[in-house]
Amino acid sequence: MTTQLMWILVVAAVVVLLLVVFGVLLLRRPKAPRGGYTGTRDLDDLPDLDGAEVVEDSPVATLERPESARGRLQRLRGRLAKSNTVLGKGLLMLLSRERIDQDTWDEIEDTLLMADLGTDASLELVENLKKRVRVTGTKDPAELKALLREEMLALVDPTLDRSVRTEAVPGKPAVVLVVGVNGVGKTTTVGKLARVLVAEDKDVLLGGADTFRAAAADQLETWGARVGVPTVRSEQEGADPASVAYDAVTAGIEQEADVVLVDTAGRLQNKAGLMDQLGKVKRVIEKAAAVDEVLLVIDATTGQNGMAQAKVFAEAVDITGIVLTKLDGTAKGGIVVAIQRGLGVPVKLIGLGEGPDDLAPFNAEQFVDAIID
């Protein structure tokens, strides 16, 4: 009888132990994508990238755990500072001269122009600074630096709303359309943004509306697969981008996704064709859900040339935000101001490298501090 009781206790203990182990495993399991992975690639074949944390013990696949967007600009500020040292240090050096005469002011203006700040903004900054230096009569480097910081900040404008609208309404996901000239970093930005949203625990779905070449959708799918985000795409090269975008958004509605990010092509034979296509993509999406955000991606290294191209896009669709990429590779940080003024749209995100988490929310104060500190 006692042996029997002992056996029952042992069996009961084993069952409880198994249940606990099973429960722990279930809790540790990462959130699987709602729509499932629609791609054909083997997840093990995906390239390893630095800095990305890998979720171990995942029964689904080896998914990466992206970094949250908070504090990213702080982490990446070194890259900004490095490329913009010439601007910040140059200006401070000129301001700390024994005598600041007209020649010095001209040099200050040239430095600003070289940093792609644009003529109007450069003149404005010089005029304002000149006035304040004269009124205060200060020679103290710390005070001069504070004046420069204030004037630069006023140009970058800390009052603009820079939030990326990714809040779903009941029954409809938020839709973000990403546009821009070829090679500026659209697909990379969509991939990086998907990771930011995954880190916020959002269900994301990607739409590969760049049907210009099949490799474009493969590239997008790879970004998504690394964080368990599905991609809606067409296998057919040259398929109608508007219909792929529509399919992505309707799939997003069916799968109750929080956000649908749509990547588009930047290469088209002519300006009229591009305008028509982008306008159509947006209109067709709107048959299913509202487009919450149209992000125009601009390569910071292309300077004024990029500005001209950006204007063509702004004519085709109403842009709601700018993503300035490759700011890690240029000393022309002033382009932030030039673009915001030229297009009347805030810079919302900046790309500071090729790494998967090298996209940061733009913050005016941190940006100016990174340049002049």
Q: Which residues are annotated as a binding site?
A: 180-187, 263-267, 325-328
Regarding beta strands 64-65 and 53-54, do their DSSP bridges make them parallel or antiparallel, or are they unpaired? Answer: antiparallel
CB 314, CB 296: distance < 8 Å? yes
Q: 328 touches which of Mg ion, ligand GTP, none (CB within 5 to 8 A by kind)? A: ligand GTP
- Tokens representing residue 37 in the block: 């992975």
| CB closer to ligand GTP, 183 vs 238 | 183
Query: Which residues is 324 bridged to in the sheet?
Result: 298, 350
Site for ligand GTP in 144-173 (CB under 6 A): none
| CB closer to ligand GTP, 288 vs 359 | 359
Question: Which of 142-150, 242-250, 254-262, 347-355 is the region at the interface with ligand GTP (rule: CB under 6 A)?
Answer: 347-355
| C-alpha closest to that of 148 among 106, 195, 198, 89 | 89
Binding residues for GTP, as ranges, are 180-187, 263-267, 325-328
Q: 329 touches which of Mg ion, ligand GTP, none (CB within 5 to 8 A by kind)? A: ligand GTP
The runs of H, that is alpha helices, within the chain are: 2-28, 72-95, 102-114, 119-136, 141-156, 186-199, 214-226, 241-254, 271-285, 303-316, 335-343, 364-372
CA distance 154 to 148: 10
The side-by-side arrangement of strands in the sheet containing 359-361 is: 231-232, 204-209, 259-264, 174-179, 293-299, 321-325, 347-351, 359-361
Query: Which residues is 299 bridged to in the sheet?
Result: 325
Select from 76, 177, 179, 184 the one that contacts ligand GTP (CB under 6 A): 184
The CB-of-215 to Mg ion minimum distance in angstroms stands at: 9
Site for ligand GTP in 348-367 (CB under 6 A): 351-354, 358
Site for Mg ion in 157-216 (CB under 5 A): 186-187, 216
Cβ-count burial of 145 within 10 angstroms (0-12 exposed, 13-18 middle, 19+ buried)?
middle
Question: Which of 52-60, 152-160, 177-185, 308-316 is the region at the interface with ligand GTP (rule: CB under 6 A)?
Answer: 177-185
The CB-of-329 to ligand GTP minimum distance in angstroms stands at: 5
Q: 111 touches which of ligand GTP, Mg ion, none (CB within 5 to 8 A by kind)? A: none
Q: 182 touches which of Mg ion, ligand GTP, none (CB within 5 to 8 A by kind)? A: ligand GTP
CA distance 352 to 74: 12
The reply to whether 207 sits near ligand GTP by the rule CB under 6 A is no
The CB-of-192 to ligand GTP minimum distance in angstroms stands at: 8
Q: How many residues bind Mg ion (CB under 5 A)?
A: 3
| CB closer to ligand GTP, 125 vs 349 | 349
Select from 182, 236, 304, 305 the one that contacts ligand GTP (CB under 6 A): 182
CB 372, CB 88: distance < 8 Å? yes
| Residue count of the chain | 373
CB 180, CB 297: distance < 8 Å? yes
| CB closer to Mg ion, 216 vs 324 | 216
How many of the other CB atoms lie within 10 Å of CB of 281?
27
Site for ligand GTP in 257-286 (CB under 6 A): 266-267
The interface mask with ligand GTP, positions 305-334, x = CB under 6 A, is --------------------xx-xx-----
Regarding beta strands 204-209 and 64-65, do their DSSP bridges make them parallel or antiparallel, or are they unpaired? Answer: unpaired
| CB closer to Mg ion, 100 vs 181 | 181
Site for ligand GTP in 102-121 (CB under 6 A): none
Cβ-count burial of 38 within 10 angstroms (0-12 exposed, 13-18 middle, 19+ buried)?
middle
Q: How many residues bind ligand GTP (CB under 6 A)?
A: 21
Q: Which residues bind Mg ion (CB under 5 A)?
A: 186-187, 216
Q: Which residues bind ligand GTP (CB under 6 A)?
A: 180, 182-188, 210, 216, 266-267, 325-326, 328-329, 351-354, 358
